[in-house]
Chains A and B, each alone.
Chain A
Amino acid sequence: RKEVEQDPGPFNVPEGATVAFNCTYSNSASQSFFWYRQDCRKEPKLLMSVYSSGNEDGRFTAQLNRASQYISLLIRDSKLSDSATYLCVVNSLQTARQLTFGSGTQLTVLP
């Protein structure tokens, strides 16, 4: 089983739609959870750190379910500029100061 698993998509949604991504992780001791955004051929950029059971930042809501070992990202009122690949990230099995990256979920927001 991969340490971090994501549905690769692609998710194609119209502007204004709400879209949700899920991610499962295998390390029950993980303490660090993040969502990164990566545009094509660019560097990953930190979108949200996920604290406690979850948090919200504008149109973006991240939730953490430790019992089921999954993280979700909800994007409301999708914009064309939200089109990107979204990476689920947790700290690795080896050490808390390494991160393990999921392969990403591709989102395209259509006009």
Chain B
Amino acid sequence: DTGVSQDPRHKITKRGQNVTFRCDPISEHNRLYWYRQTLGQGPEFLTYFQNEAQLEKSRLLSDRFSAERPKGSFSTLEIQRTEQGDSAMYLCASSLEGIGNTEAFFGQGTRLTVV
């Protein structure tokens, strides 16, 4: 399968613990996005990378959140000192930069539950 893959698919953690999620985009895509989706809502933008550069961050991305894409391929999203409000589906998407090439392909997401 050459789509976007995310790992793990599900994560249950205790409040205050740190968690890290991984996203492997489609190999030739140089844009990678992270979104958060809570129950009954549309996905909300968190951050995006063009190659290894993090170009934009949402105000939703508090200082407990950090994202990296060290070699311009896979990306990780870390949440430190998790809170119950962090419980959500975390979605990763990738796209090919270029005129009209803004179609994004989404992974199936990592569902985080903070207890």
- Asked if A pairs with B, the answer is no
Interface residues of A (CB under 8 A from B): none
